[in-house]
Structure 1
């Protein structure tokens, strides 16, 4: 048998290594490492002049969330574990960093864990005085008669 070759330093730190690598490889990104939040390098200026956009979800399909950070696109993303939703605390950290006087819109894909954790973070942020709201995207037409509804996939980009 041949041994699988991987570009992984340590499987236990794979998400932390991934977000650090993305921040190092892309000069327009900055990392808040404790909660694995990637932000546009100019997020402090962006939040002063417009509504900011936050999204995120489970890791494992990179560069899916962070690949959409840029001018006229996302201000930041929250990276959960591999195929696991980010925690409420992670999302709340992103909102606290990115939300400015014009507010923050959180774009959430229709997965149960994402809806719960992002939703709780938005409610907590509102209770702290942040202008913040959430939109759930669920456009997946491949899922028929699903109890949880349609997943949010490529339509999230729009």
Structure 2
């Protein structure tokens, strides 16, 4: 009988996240890994702190590459925390990242978190611990998924690809030397005006496991989450309709 486990270019499911991070650090001289943690930061993080600029952190489950380490750099994130595949990073790693970018920086640190229960819990606990150590930290939760409008069975609208725009907006403001309070205000307003939706033509799978759900060859699922969470509708593939859409992402802020 043929195996139902998807083929992947990895050495082992146990080390796939660590090897991915090690490879990213080795191929990008501007990044470095924190020893003992699945945390990637800018190599020049000390100069960012010394300049008195707000530092930005994001993260979440792995398996969404280039998220999240791929968004580190000038005008973007200062660091990123990686969990296991489709799993929120543990508070210990998040706290280590906050200390690495936030200690000695009165300007503060912003945590940009996608709206999933595990991420909100773990980043929230780490934020409270960091504050108890005297660090200036705030958190922005992004949930722009148009497929969900009710909080009855979920944490609310999930964080999807729109989170990347928040990385860029907050990163640009931080680069300008804006305060943590200003960055939170502007980025929150931008996040509240965004809407995205996911679509899948095939199921996903965690390394070492089979597909997390089934789709027929002539079906697609609309509104699914980034970890394969159920969408709002499953339907037959039809005729594509192409149209031109003028999009205004956000107004100009001053």
TM-score range, shorter chain: over 0.9
**Relative to 1, partners in 2 of residues 1:15 and 1:80: Cα closer, same or farther, differing over 3 Å?**
same
Does 1:126 pair with 2:128? no
| Residues 48, 101 of structure 1: 8 Å contact kept | no
Which residue number corresponds to residue 17 of structure 1?
A: 19
Structure 2 residue matching 1:35: 3-state secondary structure: coil
Q: Distance in 1 between matches of 2:56 and 2:15?
A: 27
Q: Which of 145, 155, 158 does residue 162 from structure 2 map onto?
A: 155
Q: Distance in 1 between matches of 2:146 and 2:35?
A: 36
Structure 1 residue matching 2:14: 3-state secondary structure: helix
Mean Cα deviation higher: 141-150 or 23-32: 141-150
Q: CA deviation at 1:6?
A: 3.5
Deviations 1:55-113 (A, max 9, x none): 00000111111111010110000000110000111100000000122110110110000
Structure 2 residue matching 1:130: 3-state secondary structure: coil
Q: Distance in 2 between matches of 1:122 and 1:138?
A: 19
Structure 2 residue matching 1:139: 3-state secondary structure: coil
**TM, length-normalised to structure 2:** 0.59
Q: CA deviation at 1:155?
A: 1.9
Does 1:142 pair with 2:152? no
Q: How many residues align?
A: 158
> Which structure has the highest helix share of the two?
1
Unaligned runs of 5+ in 2: 166-254
Q: Distance in 2 between matches of 1:112 and 1:125?
A: 20
**TM, length-normalised to structure 1:** 0.93
Q: Which of 102, 106, 109 does residue 101 from structure 1 map onto?
A: 106
> Which one has more relative contact order, counting CA pairs under 8 Å at least 6 apart?
1
Q: Which has the larger radius of gyration?
A: 2
Which residue number corresponds to residue 191 of structure 2?
A: none
Q: Distance in 2 between matches of 1:136 and 1:26?
A: 28
Give the superposed CA RMSD: 1.6
**Relative to 1, partners in 2 of residues 1:5 and 1:108: Cα closer, same or farther, differing over 3 Å?**
closer
Which residue number corresponds to residue 95 of structure 2?
A: 92
Structure 2 residue matching 1:93: 3-state secondary structure: helix
Off by >6 Å, runs of 4+ in structure 1: none
Q: CA deviation at 1:54?
A: 0.3
Which residue number corresponds to residue 229 of structure 2?
A: none
**Relative to 1, partners in 2 of residues 1:44 and 1:98: Cα closer, same or farther, differing over 3 Å?**
same
**Relative to 1, partners in 2 of residues 1:9 and 1:124: Cα closer, same or farther, differing over 3 Å?**
same
Unaligned runs of 5+ in 1: none
Structure 2 residue matching 1:22: 3-state secondary structure: helix
